[in-house]
Amino acid sequence: MNATVVSLPLPTLPEGWAAEKDFKAIGKLTQEGSSMRTLEPVGPHFLAHARRVRHKRTFSEDDRIQAQAKAKKIEQDSDSDISEEEDPMLLARDAKDWKTQDHYKVLGLSKYRWRATEDQIKRAHRKKVLKHHPDKKAAAGRADDDNFFKCIQKAAEILLDPVKRRQFDSVDEEADIPPPTKKQLAKGNYYELWGKVFENEARFSKIQPVPGFGNENSTREEVEAFYNFWYNFDSWRSFEYLDEDVPDDNENRDQKRHMERKNANARKKKKAEDNARLRKLVEEAQAGDERIKRFRQEANAAKNKKRLEREAAERKAAEEARLKKEAEERARKEAEEKAKAEREAAKKAKEAAKNAVKKNKRVLRGSVKEANYFVEGEASAATIDAVLNDVDLVITKIDADEIAALAGKLNGLTVADEIKNVWKEEVSRLVGAGKLKEGDIKALVA
Amino acid sequence: MAESASKAAPGERVVIGITFGNSNSSIAHTVDDKAEVIANEDGDRQIPTILSYVDGDEYYGQQAKNFLVRNPKNTVAYFRDILGQDFKSVDPTHNHASAHPQEAGDNVVFTIKDKAEEDAEPSTLTVSEIATRYLRRLVGAASEYLGKKVTSAVITIPTNFTEKQKAALIAAAAAADLEVLQLISEPAAAVLAYDARPEATISDKIIVVADLGGSRSDVTVLASRSGMYTILATVHDYEYHGIALDKVLIDHFSKEFLKKNPGAKDPRENPRSLAKLRLEAESTKRALSRSTNASFSVESLIDGLDFASTINRLRYETIARTVFEGFNRLVESAVKKAGLDPLDVDEVIMSGGTSNTPRIAANFRYIFPESTRILAPSTDPSALNPSELQARGAALQASLIQEFETEDIEQSTHAAVTTMPHVTNAIGVVSVSESGEEKFVPIIAPETAVPARRTVHLDAPKEGGDVLVKVVEGSTHINVIKPEPKAKEDGETKEKTEDADDDGDFDDDDEEEEEEEEEEEKREKVWKIGSTLAEAAVRGVKKGAKVEVTINVNTDLTVIVTAREVGGKGGVRGTLSA
């Protein structure tokens, strides 16, 4: 907290001023109108204020805690990440056996391993050198004690050379995380346990970044991308580091070539084994992956849903077609029946009309007979014939209605003159209408 | 899932600050704690808040702005203030020359042809969809510049944004795959941009932030108390803004055009001609902010007639006087609303594009006393670019909180943390001036949020010895030293004669009279010693030493006073309960 400097003097203490502990409380802060206002939540000073309020710290407490936090951070940066206990067994190692040596452990980086940055390796190396340099040991009275120092130099040589480091990382079994056992899976989180394994294996991938194993909420795309990636895993892992030493003498060339061939074959074999191991790992993880089962079920459900929908649609269409057909059939039948009934009715009417005409004709013919063929006494055959011929001629000239009308007029008449008058009228009407010629009818109107 | 996927872990965030303005937007990021405004693909740092669709291609920023002439129907401008609003509270004035907002249920929509096919139906896009598309372009520009996908941002908003508008903005940003870490108010961002400069000293001051934008002006009075900002008053204005200045130029040049071309149609009545005038007027206005002369030329303004002219700054300032005076009144009203006097104002921060106009800053110079710093490019060479302030502030805030968990941010911005009691009166000690009078030395300024702690070093009496530390409350009042009575009499007689001449002019004259008086009046701020809070004694102070007085006010308004000799041991400590 910076103080503001004011260059105005304070008054001197008046004579006789006295108070307990030299402090006299007199007034109180004006609270009236001391308003609640809202601070703008912006800027470093506000954030400091927020920190104090949230953790209920006073100014000086917060200052102290912030200072401590800062100091701790610096210390961590420098040292804590590369301080490991040195195993006495390790210190006693023979530098000649560098092939079997754990370089990370030698440098005190066993918890980082392939994750260790170059900077960490350099710092770790320097730290070890400072401690184990043979000159220091010589100063302590142990001359020629440079065994572990050689181990350190070898470790640094390998780990600081990217090619050699990869070769070593390829065969660094300490870094491997074994796949979870069934027992572990039963207890722990499936995704977490396998996730760790794959995260670890991902260090061998030529393609970075590697998709994560995800969790139970991962989408289908994510899960599929994950398995596709791992089934097509492109690994840089190689096994040169485990090669047997090739004798370096020019005398036995055959022996040398034989060894080289053997090594090459061994590498190939190991690489194939490693690929198979990885594949098995992925298959194992996939076999137990609930997400895949769930996706399959969901896909099936979706497919079934589609099929059921299709079937329902088909059924519905068939039903509709059937109903339509039935309705058509019914309509056709109704129409047929109606037509039949109409035909029959027409036939009946026709027959009735025919009968009526016949009956009326009979009345007409009967009427002339009633009038005794318009002659006195016994009518001669010729007369009868002539009259009847005329009647028939009239009948042929008039239609059924007129016949009926005529019959109506004649019906009930018995007097010959009246009958004759009716006939005469009819004949003259017909002549007037031009249907008959004067003279065609003689006997009837005579 | 989608939502959580868009939220990057605190350690993996790539953050920027965004000013999402109604007329222009900016994006900024921080490099080594220094804010830097990012230029987009077109090289613009002020990116017009405009989207345009031509044959299915999306344009934004300056490119889209140019389409206001040729393709106004498929261009959306001035949509920030529509976001999260009901249709009935939307002011469509500025949208007249582009796509028009329409009502659709609870939403405000634009009907835009954004597909390439000739016969495609125009799409109905909600304003939040437009905002999302625009933000996506801003984030895209920033990501391209930084070479990393931007995940999160701090966005500035006006102080009068409603909760609904805030929610709509956050939702629109989320749809653009952008996590909003915090929405901060525009004036606070502007102050932060100044306070974060390495050369800045954090002191207690009253700041006026005049944010003069394209389509609105906001003036905010803030109390800055050791880097914490409390807003005392805000005024918002939709009358005096950059567009109003453009309009002055448009009218001026249209009249000139009509004079030069008798018989030509008025270009202001043809939408296309008006759009051309607008674009040119804005660039002329910008040129006038930089130099004293500017040209104005439009090809084929109307009926194939070209128009070219020039204007000098003086002429411009004359014709735009009413608008400039509007800005003056706005600032004065904000100070008045805060219950303060211009003498109380320590700093005026000019923000927003219109603040580049030299005349406005010069006018403000007259409102405030000499001691007030006017931070505008024309009055202060160390001033930052007013158009970039808010984006810088947002970027700085983003870098401060980028490693915070979302929960931490929420808790830190919670009302329980932000709403604090503020002391009403100043708290200070009594000192002795050269003339032997008692003089108030403020230690804690009024409107300081508690808890607060301040320390001052005061001189001890020359001869040393025992010293009295008298802690008192203090308040200010404005001492007005009237001009000499003779001058006043003159004024009165003058007034009388004028009055006799013409009754109608009486009011005007009266005002003039007052102005004259005010010019002659001497006004100064003086501290008045209020009630005594406590007395303490520091004994045996060495000759020429200094006395350190620390005052601590707690949340419950208890006061703790500590006084000791600088470098000395012990000292006095006492508590005043509330």
Mean of pLDDT over chain A: 83
- pLDDT classification of B497: cutoffs 50, 70, 90: very low
Angle at A172 between CA A169 and CA A177, to 5 degrees: 110
Q: What is the pLDDT of residues B522-561, one digit of tens each?
A: 788 888 888 888 888 888 888 878 888 999 988 888 889 9
Q: What is the pLDDT of residues B57-110, one digit of tens each?
A: 999 999 999 999 999 999 999 999 999 988 888 888 888 889 999 888 888 899
Confidence (pLDDT) at B483: 66
CA atoms within 13 A on the CB side of B144: 12
Query: Is the predicted pLDDT of residue A60 greater than 90, yes or no?
Result: no
CB contact under 8 A, B559 and A50: no
Q: Is B354 annotated as a binding residue?
A: yes
Q: Is A397 or A301 the better-scoring residue by pLDDT?
A: A301
CA distances from A42 to A116, B151, B323, B527 (A): 38, 20, 32, 31
Asked if A208 and A277 sit in the same domain, the reply is: yes
Q: What is the pLDDT of residues B370-425, one digit of tens each?
A: 899 999 998 888 899 999 999 999 999 999 998 888 888 888 888 888 888 888 88
Confidence (pLDDT) at B514: 46
Confidence (pLDDT) at A446: 61
CB contact under 8 A, A46 and B462: no
Query: Which chain B residue is nearest to residue A17, measuring alpha carbons?
Result: B537
Q: What is the pLDDT of residues B371-383, one digit of tens each?
A: 999 999 988 888 9
CB contact under 8 A, B202 and A39: no
Query: Which chain B residue is nearest to residue A217, measuring alpha carbons?
Result: B1
CA distance B447 to B389: 25
- Among B207, B230, B418, B577, the strongest candidate for a mutation testing the A interface, having the largest count of A CBs within 10 A, is B418
Query: Is the predicted pLDDT of residue A285 greater than 90, yes or no?
Result: no
Instruction: Examine residue A426 and state whether it is found in any structural domain, yes or no.
Output: yes
Handedness of CA A419, A421, A423, A425 (dihedral sign): negative
- Among A7, A17, A23, the strongest candidate for a mutation testing the B interface, having the largest count of B CBs within 10 A, is A23
Q: What's the complex ipTM?
A: 0.83
Name which of A2, A9, A28 is nearest B576 (Cβ-Cβ).
Answer: A28
Out of 3.30.420.40, 3.40.1180.10, 3.30.70.260, 3.30.530.20, which CATH number does the structure's domain B10-177+391-417 have? 3.30.420.40
Q: Is B353 annotated as a binding residue?
A: yes
Query: Which chain A residue is nearest to residue B532, measuring alpha carbons?
Result: A27
CB contact under 8 A, A42 and B397: yes
Confidence (pLDDT) at A88: 81
Name which of A2, A10, A217 is nearest B461 (Cβ-Cβ).
Answer: A10
Confidence (pLDDT) at A81: 57
Asked if A163 and A131 sit in the same domain, the reply is: yes
Indicate which CATH number applies to the domain containing A163.
1.10.287.110
pTM, rounded to two decimals: 0.64
Out of 3.40.50.720, 3.40.50.300, 3.90.640.10, 3.40.1160.10, which CATH number does the structure's domain B242-318 have? 3.90.640.10
CA distance A24 to A305: 87
CB contact under 8 A, B195 and A43: yes
Confidence (pLDDT) at B488: 44
Q: In DSSP terms, which residues pair with A40 in a beta bridge?
A: B229
CA distance B365 to B368: 6
CA distance A281 to A443: 132
Instruction: Examine residue A48 and state whether it is found in any structural domain, yes or no.
Output: no
Query: Which chain A residue is nearest to residue B33, measuring alpha carbons?
Result: A44
How many residue pairs bridge chain A and chain B with CB atoms within 8 Å of each other? 235
Indicate which CATH number applies to the domain containing A422.
1.10.8.840
Containing domain of residue A169, as a range? 84-174
Q: What percent of chain B has pLDDT over 70?
A: 92
Instruction: Examine residue A53 and state whether it is found in any structural domain, yes or no.
Output: no
CB contact under 8 A, B185 and A6: no
Q: Is B213 annotated as a binding residue?
A: yes
CA distance A217 to B326: 58
Domain boundary among A140, A174, A208: A174
Q: What strands lie across the sheet with B522-541, from one edge to the other? A: A23-25, B522-541, B465-481, B426-432, B438-444
Asked if A243 and A193 sit in the same domain, the reply is: yes
Confidence (pLDDT) at B509: 44
What residues of chain B lie within 8 A of the CB of A9, using their CB? 431-432, 458-462
CB contact under 8 A, A25 and B575: yes
Q: What is the pLDDT of residues A11-51, one digit of tens each?
A: 888 877 877 777 888 877 776 655 788 888 998 889 888 88
Q: What is the pLDDT of residues B344-366, one digit of tens each?
A: 999 999 999 999 999 999 999 99
CB contact under 8 A, B578 and A28: yes
Asked if A164 and A191 sit in the same domain, the reply is: no
Query: Is the predicted pLDDT of residue B476 greater than 90, yes or no?
Result: no
Domain boundary among A288, A309, A324: A288
Using a 10 angstrom Cβ sphere, with 0-12 exposed, 13-18 middle and 19 or more buried, the burial of residue B391 is buried
Name which of A3, A19, A29 is nearest B457 (Cβ-Cβ).
Answer: A3
What residues of chain A lie within 8 A of the CB of B193, using their CB? none
Q: What is the pLDDT of residues A379-425, one digit of tens each?
A: 778 878 887 887 788 778 777 777 788 778 777 777 777 777 887 88
What residues of chain B lie within 8 A of the CB of A19, using their CB? 535-537
What residues of chain A lie within 8 A of the CB of B444, using their CB? none
Instruction: Examine residue A211 and state whether it is found in any structural domain, yes or no.
Output: yes
Q: CATH class for domain B422-481+523-576?
A: mainly beta
- Among A1, A2, A4, A10, the strongest candidate for a mutation testing the B interface, having the largest count of B CBs within 10 A, is A10
Rounded to a whole number, what is the distance in Å from the CA of A27 to chain B's nearest CA?
Answer: 4
What residues of chain A lie within 8 A of the CB of B339, using their CB? none
Rounded to a whole number, what is the distance in Å from the CA of B32 to chain A's nearest CA?
Answer: 15
Name which of A6, A12, A31 is nearest B458 (Cβ-Cβ).
Answer: A6
Name which of B192, B423, B547 is nearest A43 (Cβ-Cβ).
Answer: B192
Asked if A147 and A221 sit in the same domain, the reply is: no
| Residue range(s) occupied by CATH 3.30.420.40 in chain B | 10-177+391-417, 201-238+325-380
Domain boundary among A288, A311, A330: A288
Which CATH number does B201-238+325-380 carry? Answer: 3.30.420.40
Name which of A9, A23, A42 is nearest B572 (Cβ-Cβ).
Answer: A23
Buried b (16+ CB within 10 A) or exposed e, B103-124: eeeebbbbbbbbeeeeeeeeee
Asked if A129 and A192 sit in the same domain, the reply is: no
Determine how many CB atoms are found less than 10 A away from the CB of residue B465.
15
DSSP for B110-131 reads EEE--SSSTTPPPEEEEHHHHH
CB contact under 8 A, B192 and A26: no
Q: Is B315 annotated as a binding residue?
A: no
Both tokens of A376, joined, read 């006195």
Instruction: Examine residue A387 and state whether it is found in any structural domain, yes or no.
Output: yes
Q: How many domains does chain A have?
A: 3
What residues of chain A lie within 8 A of the CB of B196, using their CB? 43-44
Asked if A170 and A186 sit in the same domain, the reply is: no
Name which of A3, A34, A59 is nearest B421 (Cβ-Cβ).
Answer: A34
Q: Is B22 annotated as a binding residue?
A: yes
Is residue A66 a contact partner of residue A57, using CB atoms and an 8 Å limit?
no
Q: Is B227 annotated as a binding residue?
A: no
Q: Is B216 annotated as a binding residue?
A: yes
Q: What is the pLDDT of residues B95-153, one digit of tens each?
A: 888 999 988 888 889 988 888 877 778 889 999 999 999 999 999 999 999 998 999 99
